[in-house]
Amino acid sequence: MGMIGGGRGAFIGGVHRIAAGIDGQIELVAGALHVDPEIAVLSGQDLYLKPERIYRTYKELFEKESKLGPDERVDFVSIVTPNHVHFEPAKLALEHGFHVVCEKPLSFNLEEGKQLQALVNSNDLVFAVTHTYTGYPMIKQAREMLTSGVFGKIRRVVVEYPQGWLSTPLERTGSQQASWRTDPKRSGKAGAVGDIGTHAENLAETITGLKIKELSADVTTFVDGRLLDDDASVLLRFDNGAKGVLMCSQISAGEENALSIRVYGEKGSIEWHQHDPNTMFVKWLDKPMEVYRTGQGYMGAAAQAHTRVPAGHPEGYLEAFANIYRDFAKVVQAKLDGVSPDPLHLDFPTVNDGVRGMEFIDAVIESGEKNGAWVTL
C-alpha cells in the first residue's frame, strides 16, 4: 500500500493504517502523506518508511512508483485526503494502473465521480470506498435476512446519524477536522450531508438491497456564519414502494456517532445501533423479540466470514474498517494471481457506491434549495 494524505495532524489516516494492518495482508511501503512537502517527509519518517519511498507530492509518488518492477511497486494507494483532493490522485492512480481505496464521499462533485467510475470500468481495476459501517458483521446479517424475504416486503426504513461535535463554530478555533469539513472549497456543496449523510444513505441501500427513487429534504445551517449545512431531514421513497426517513446532523448536542437503522417489513423488523454494533434486535408480529449477537453459530455465512473473535469479545469500528481492507486485499491478490476471487471477498463498497453517494448529495442539496421539492435520483 501507498498512502496519500494521513500524515501529521490527520485523524482518519491513522485509522486506515490500523485497519489495513489488522489481518496481516497489507504493508504500508510508500506515501505522500501531507500537502506540505516538508511535513510529508517528516510524516514518512514517523512511520519508518524507507527514505526513497517517502514522496513530497502524490504526483511524485505515481511517477516514481510506476517505474518500479511489479514485485516492488505499490499494488494500490489509499487516499485519505479532504474531499477536494480525492479526484486527481485517484484519477492518476487508475491511469498508472494502481488499484485504489478512497475515503468518502468519492469526489468533490458528481462529474468527477462519474469520471472515476468510467476509468475503473475501462481499466478493470479494484476500487473501494470506505463506507465503514457496512463492514460490521451484524449489518451483513441484517442484509441477508432482509433480502431473503423472511420479513416479507420492506415497507419502511428509518436511518439516523446524529453527531454533536459541530454544535459550536469549531472551525473558527483552528480545528483542522472542522475547518475543511465546513469549507465549500474543500468539502464541496455539502457539509453534514456529504460527511455523514452519505454513510446513512449507503447503509440504508446496502442493508435493504433497495434504491432510493425520490427524496424530499429540509437542509439547515444552524450555526451562524457557517458556510455549509450542519443538519438535514430527508423523506425517502424507495424503488419497491417503501418509504423512509433519513436524518443526519452535526449539531445534535451530546451525541457522538449515534448511527442507527430500523427496517420494517410486513412480518417483522430489525433494529441496529452503532453504539452496540455486536447486537441486533429482530422483532416479529406474532412471537417474542429475538436478540442476535455477533460470533454466534446461528449467524449467516457473510457475517461469520467477517467475524474475527469468539462471541462476547467486542468487535467494533476498527474491525469493521478492516473488513473492507481485507476483502479489498483478497480481491487484488486474486487479480495478481489471475484467479477469480471468492464471492465473500467481493463484499465491500465500490466506486459505484461512491457515485451513488454523490447522486444522493446532489439530490438532497437540490431539494433543500427548492424548499423540500421531491427530486428523483
pLDDT for the residue numbered 330: 98
The pLDDT score that the predictor gives to residue 110 is: 97
pLDDT tens-place string over residues 79-117 = 999 999 999 999 999 999 999 999 999 999 999 999 999
Architecture of domain 2-125: 3-Layer(aba) Sandwich (3.40)
- What is the predicted pLDDT for the residue at 114? 98
| Regions in the chain scoring below 70 on pLDDT | none
Do β-strands 99-102 and 127-129 pair in parallel, antiparallel, or remain unpaired? parallel
Of 82, 65, 72, 76, the residue nearest 7 (C-alpha): 82
**For residue 353, what pLDDT is reported?**
98
The predicted structure's pLDDT at residue 194: 97
Q: Which option is the CATH number for 137-310+355-376: 3.30.360.10, 3.40.50.150, 3.40.50.720, 3.30.1280.10?
A: 3.30.360.10
Answer whether 2-125 and 137-310+355-376 agree in fold.
Answer: no
**What pLDDT does 80 receive?**
98
- The whole-angstrom separation of Cα 342 and Cα 364 is 36
State residue 126's pLDDT score: 98
Residues 6+ apart with CB under 8 A from 267: 150, 151, 152, 284, 285
Residue 319: the pLDDT is 97
Domain ranges within the chain, ordered by starting residue: 2-125, 137-310+355-376
Range list of β-strands (E), the chain: 2-4, 30-32, 76-79, 99-102, 127-129, 154-162, 212-220, 231-238, 243-249, 260-265, 268-273, 279-284, 290-293, 375-376
Q: Is 212 helix (H, G, I), strand (E, B) or coil?
A: strand
Give the span between the Cα atoms of 128 and 328, in whole angstroms: 7
